[in-house]
Structure 1
Amino acid sequence: MSRARDPHRSFFPFGNPFRMISPKGSQMTPQLLRILNSFETTQAERLKKLIPENKDEILSISWMTLAMESLCETHNDIKTLALDIELPVSHWDEKWIDVYLDISVKLLDICIAFSSELSRLNQGHLLLQCALHNLNTPSPQQFVRACSSIDGWRRHINSGNPRIEKCGTILDDLLGSLDLPKVKNSAKGKVLMQAMYGAKVQTAFLCSVFAAFFSGSAEKLLDLDVADTYLWAQAFTSLRHVVNQEIKVRFSNGRFAVLRELEAVDASVKKLYPIIQGELDTVEKEALLETVEETSRTAERLSQGLDHLAKEVDGFFRVVLSGRDALLSSLRSGAIFCDTIPGVNMDEQRVK
């Protein structure tokens, strides 16, 4: 494995993972091969959709929302695949179960950290609303109050989040989990492990991008290299290259924020602040009104985007949690994994 700050380390310190999950005596049937190819082809198409024509779209909340949606879909596909190959949990190797449960805990922790940061950013919206409200009836006192609220917004946005700072350690642990357990004489196990590997790579990378966005540090980006034996490898490599390169350029330019919507708010605030610092008699009312309206629009766009993204993060949290609960329930009952997910129709899962 290697990270952006340590490019000399091999991504596969344990050797070729594809060889590890392809032992002799575990030949795939045509049906199992179709299931695996379908999963990997779908994942490849999903990754391609995250590569926009305009690179600026990568640095937006709308792109982050799409990325989180893709994670939900991939993890749901893992549960569907586990059902389609009809591999009872009782036949799972203990190492597979340990890996799945360990990863799920880490992903839940990451979701909690991301949710806390989105909530923190949205709290700044209240400070801007307070500032704009004070400017509805301009007066020297209201200008002072508006300036105070804007100063509070700046301090709030620039403050750190301890939970986000811990994401680096969690991501390191996720990288360690990419080491695939050996599969002995089990074609179905091979399919399951190879699919889980694809899901883990996509998850670790996209979570590292989110952590970089929220922390303002390119050190959290992951430069993952994958073997070209996977159908999704080329799409992933292209996505990784475009996203990492664009974010690093953004950081190297010393921009206020990586997120486009947040930077738009900051630009509006920078135009508004000098206006309300002057004497009331010298303020051009038309310029003040236009700048207040612009700040209000950009702030509302940011707040709505954060709300939508928060819902997707919560959705991913629930997907991970339901999968974990289903596995634990199946272990107790001996059922096929994901038969017991509450509110999920098995027929719907098969055709998803």
Structure 2
Amino acid sequence: MSQPQEPHRPFFPFGNPFRMLSPKGSQLSPRLLSLLNTFEEALAARLRKLNPKDKGDVLSLTWMKLAMESLCETHTVIKTLITELELPVTEWDEKWIDVYLDITVKLLDICIAFSSELSRLNQGHLFLQCALHKLESNTSEKLVRACSSLDSWRQHIGSKNPRLENCKSILESLVDSLTLPKVKNSAKGKVLMRAMYGVKVQTVFVCSVFAAAFSVNSKNLIDLDVPNTILWAQAYSDLQTTVNGEIREVFSHGQTTVNGEIRELFSRGKFTFLKELDEVETVVNNLYPMIQDGMGPTEVEAFSSSFSDLGRKAEKLSQVLDFLAQEVDSFFKIVLSGRDALLCNLRVSDTVADPFRGNNGEQVIG
């Protein structure tokens, strides 16, 4: 197993969110402590749920869908926490707001990159459908066209998506921009910042795994050193060790495991490690020589079996790509709606703060 990259330093978005636990920090009321503990315990449960029982499931679109669902839930819960804290936008430090808006722009950009890759992968389904249609006929002309469609699918899946090239810089900027101003001496503010720390850790983790899986580049993985003083630290550490470790091991050896069989992917010119995609490619590899070389009486049954298998696996791939694309779109909408709500509240706050000024800034006399 390859050695993991040097972990990033712990990032504290607005000073040290754990300072509240020290004697010098603001003391939390039982209500605030309960809100924080409830949030962190729920986050720990979500992180534990993401830890796959089978390491081979890490590089699968199905696991990625679960990861994005979990991330959407975390971002939704933080909105609820903000409401329960009763901390209006007017009490937010301007630097908090600037950082939040900057982070949301980066998250929207990375969502667009992921969506474009999922759309690109799903476009390959058209080539598979065309091949399956041609394979229904035994005429030599149709079989040649089927080979051409399968070739086109391979080339399409193996091509690179330029939108993914910026993911690494976006992820690094998300980490580097988080060590920023200290939170004011506010118990509510410190609860919010500590909860936001958890949200950001899970966000960077999930997005880095997606970037690595789509680009087949373990350099997009980010290891975060989370202080063990928080309730979800162990759950996160276990998850990060399992997922990032497995991805690095697979990428370093150029291998993947499907149905217990280890195959050298790079030697076959493959550039994907996604489980459902590789299952389709395996069937394509079985079918291709039968189509090219022709089938004798003993190969007809094997051809029929592979043909049916390709149809099932191609449909499964298309469906899971659609499901994952929906989850990425949901995350995009959650981030966008939160950003819009903040901007709307800021505009309302400005209006309420100075209700007697006209558009030119002069006082309005009633």
Q: Does the alignment reach a TM-score above 0.5? A: yes
Q: Cα distance 1:100–1:61, how it changes in 2: closer, same or farther (>3 A)?
A: same
Matches of 1:198 and 1:189, distance apart in 2: 15
Kindly indicate whether the alpha-carbon contact (under 8 Å) linking 2:9 and 2:224 is maintained by their aligned counterparts in 1. no
TM-score (norm 2): 0.86
Residue correspondence of structure 1 range 16-165 to structure 2 within 5 A: 17-19=16-18, 24=24, 26-165=26-165
Structure 1 residues 175-208: Cα deviation after superposition (integer angstroms, max 9, x where no partner): 1133253112111110111111110010001100
Stretches of structure 1 that go unaligned for 5 or more consecutive residues are 336-352
The residue number in structure 2 matching 1:197 is 197
After the TM superposition, which of the residue ranges 174-183 and 35-44 deviates more from structure 2? 174-183
Matches of 1:318 and 1:13, distance apart in 2: 26
The residue number in structure 2 matching 1:343 is none
Deviation at 1:16, TM superposition (A): 7.9
Structure 1 residues 55-89: Cα deviation after superposition (integer angstroms, max 9, x where no partner): 12222211111100111110011111110000010
Matches of 2:304 and 2:194, distance apart in 1: 58
Larger radius of gyration: 2
The residue number in structure 1 matching 2:359 is none
**1:334 counterpart = 2:333:** no
**1:269 counterpart = 2:268:** no
The residue number in structure 1 matching 2:357 is none
Kindly indicate whether the alpha-carbon contact (under 8 Å) linking 1:21 and 1:183 is maintained by their aligned counterparts in 2. no
The residue number in structure 1 matching 2:358 is none
The residue number in structure 1 matching 2:353 is none
Q: Cα distance 1:280–1:267, how it changes in 2: closer, same or farther (>3 A)?
A: closer
The residue number in structure 1 matching 2:327 is 312
Specify which of 289, 293, 296 is matched with residue 278 of structure 1.
Answer: 293
Structure 1 residues 214-236: Cα deviation after superposition (integer angstroms, max 9, x where no partner): 00111111111111111111100
What is the one-letter code of the residue matched to 1:261? E
What is the one-letter code of the residue matched to 1:294? D
What is the one-letter code of the residue matched to 1:189? G
Q: Cα distance 1:25–1:287, how it changes in 2: closer, same or farther (>3 A)?
A: closer
Matches of 1:245 and 1:316, distance apart in 2: 26
Matches of 1:179 and 1:68, distance apart in 2: 25
Matches of 2:11 and 2:322, distance apart in 1: 38
RMSD: 2.1
Deviation at 1:278, TM superposition (A): 1.1
- Give the 3-state SS of the residue equivalent to 1:156 in structure 2: helix
After the TM superposition, which of the residue ranges 248-257 and 33-42 deviates more from structure 2? 248-257
Deviation at 1:322, TM superposition (A): 0.7
Matches of 2:9 and 2:312, distance apart in 1: 47
Structure 1 residues 150-173: Cα deviation after superposition (integer angstroms, max 9, x where no partner): 111111111000111111111011
Specify which of 333, 336, 339 is matched with residue 321 of structure 1.
Answer: 336
Matches of 2:172 and 2:74, distance apart in 1: 21
Structure 1 residues 38-58: Cα deviation after superposition (integer angstroms, max 9, x where no partner): 111100000000012111222
- Give the 3-state SS of the residue equivalent to 1:166 in structure 2: helix
Deviation at 1:11, TM superposition (A): 3.9
Matches of 1:8 and 1:298, distance apart in 2: 38
Structure 1 residues 238-277: Cα deviation after superposition (integer angstroms, max 9, x where no partner): 0000001111121122134321111101111110100000
Kindly indicate whether the alpha-carbon contact (under 8 Å) linking 2:13 and 2:178 is maintained by their aligned counterparts in 1. no
Matches of 2:193 and 2:14, distance apart in 1: 16
- Give the 3-state SS of the residue equivalent to 1:27 in structure 2: coil
The residue number in structure 1 matching 2:304 is 289
Q: Cα distance 1:206–1:282, how it changes in 2: closer, same or farther (>3 A)?
A: same
Kindly indicate whether the alpha-carbon contact (under 8 Å) linking 2:208 and 2:221 is maintained by their aligned counterparts in 1. yes
Matches of 1:301 and 1:85, distance apart in 2: 44
- Give the 3-state SS of the residue equivalent to 1:230 in structure 2: coil
